Amino acid sequence: MARLWGSIFILVFFSLVSSLELVSSASEVTSSRSKAIASFQSWVDRVGANHSAFENTAKSSGSTGDLSRKVAEGVIVVDQSGAGHYKTINEAINAVPLHNKYAVTIKVNPGIYIERVMVPKSKWRITLQGSGRDVTKITSRNAAGDTGTTYTTSTFGVSAPYFTARNITFENSSPLQIGGAQQQAVALRTTGDFNAFYGCAFLGQQDTLYDDRGRHYFKESLIVGSVDFIFGDGKSLYQNCELRVLPSSGGSLTAQKRLSFSEDTGYSFVNCKITGSGPSTVYLGRAWGPYSRVVFAYSEFADIINPVGWYNWADPARERTVFYGQYKCFGPGANEASRVGWSVELTDAQAAPFMTLGYIDGGLWVTEE
């Protein structure tokens, strides 16, 4: 290809130079033309070499298709058998350009992917599309005692904005040992703004879902754990989700960390279902932050819920500043007769701000409801 373009360019160049012969001497034109042609051919050779290098890079990337076509279509396929562009999810994430301006979908074919994946702030607009959460799983086994901190235990971490995941499972398989220390084991951590999760599953024990910072939307997803298994300081709406409690010596569904009255964060659960069984009941939430905010609306509670509902994290002062509420919930665990006096049954007006996508400014970024 480089030789063909070189020949075309040289013919055009000769035509231009020939016109100069009308005003210049033959000897001067011949000398200039020889130097120009040599320089021009050198440039063509460099272009050809760069083009060949690009082709070689595409072929060596593990892709079964043309790299430029893959970028243009915005689709990358991950398949453990080698039938896709890459065999691992990490390779696919690495292939997305920095500060990506266009949506990229990473399609993950069925399989159990044993790897830890981090999506950095610079990898924008990625959609991770599984083949069904029952057949597509990303898993690892790391607890805080292994890595040093809860933050670094996550199987999958998202720091980028506009990240979406669909129909895939995130798991941290580290077991919970009753009475043990440093057992926090995060399946997914999200600190990116405008992140959405549809039809996903988050499997773990203690600290399963680190809903850390940013606005997030979880729809028709399954979250499984035993202790504080939805925690952090995000501002998130959970819609039509199942929160499944695993047997333990007692724990909490949520541990929200709102730190001040002016901080606009909190968790809202709408049309959700709390399931599970075990030797002990669990709290709906406990006040990790002094201004912790959690609301449940139109949700069904199994009898796994501790009748008092909420816990102050051994700090009575937090009872005056947290915001914990229920709105038209039902089921054997929803009875408010024995709830702590500092939680509330919300009025229509109090519940309204938490009920829709407007709570997370979803009209600006959520593409499907």
Q: How far apart are alpha carbons 205 and 172 in whole angstroms?
A: 8
- Contact indicator for 316, 341 with CB cutoff of 8 Å: no
Cβ neighbours of residue 337 under 8 Å, at least 6 residues apart?
Answer: 307
Dig out the tokens for 184 from the structure: 């926090």
Task: Evaluate whether residue 179 is within a structural domain.
Answer: no
- Determine the structural domain holding residue 364 and report its residue range: 226-369
pTM passes above 0.95:
no
- Contact indicator for 226, 248 with CB cutoff of 8 Å: yes
Last residue within a domain, chosen from 12, 29, 60: 60
Query: What total number of domains does the chain contain?
Result: 2
Cβ neighbours of residue 99 under 8 Å, at least 6 residues apart?
Answer: 122, 124
For position 262, what pLDDT does the model report? 97
Task: Evaluate whether residue 44 is within a structural domain.
Answer: yes
Per-residue pLDDT of the chain (369 residues; tens, 9 = 90+): 444 344 433 333 344 334 434 334 444 434 443 443 344 344 334 333 333 333 333 343 444 445 445 544 699 999 999 999 999 999 999 999 998 888 999 999 999 999 999 999 999 999 999 999 999 999 999 988 888 898 889 999 999 999 999 999 999 999 876 656 678 889 999 999 999 999 999 999 999 999 999 999 999 999 999 999 999 999 999 999 999 999 887 789 999 999 999 999 999 999 999 999 877 899 999 999 999 999 999 999 999 999 999 999 999 999 999 999 999 999 999 999 999 999 999 999 999 999 999 999 999 999 886
Last residue within a domain, chosen from 15, 41, 60: 60
For position 104, what pLDDT does the model report? 97
Task: Evaluate whether residue 209 is within a structural domain.
Answer: no
What CATH number should be reported for the domain holding residue 322? 2.160.20.10
Task: Evaluate whether residue 256 is within a structural domain.
Answer: yes
Q: How far apart are alpha carbons 221 and 333 in whole angstroms?
A: 21
Task: Evaluate whether residue 166 is within a structural domain.
Answer: no
Last residue within a domain, chosen from 20, 40, 60: 60
Q: How far apart are alpha carbons 154 and 150 in whole angstroms?
A: 8
C-alpha distances in Å from residue 336, one per residue of 188, 228, 325: 32, 21, 10
**Whether residue 361 lies in the annotated active site:** no
Choose, from 228, 264, 315, 348, the residue flagged as catalytic: 228
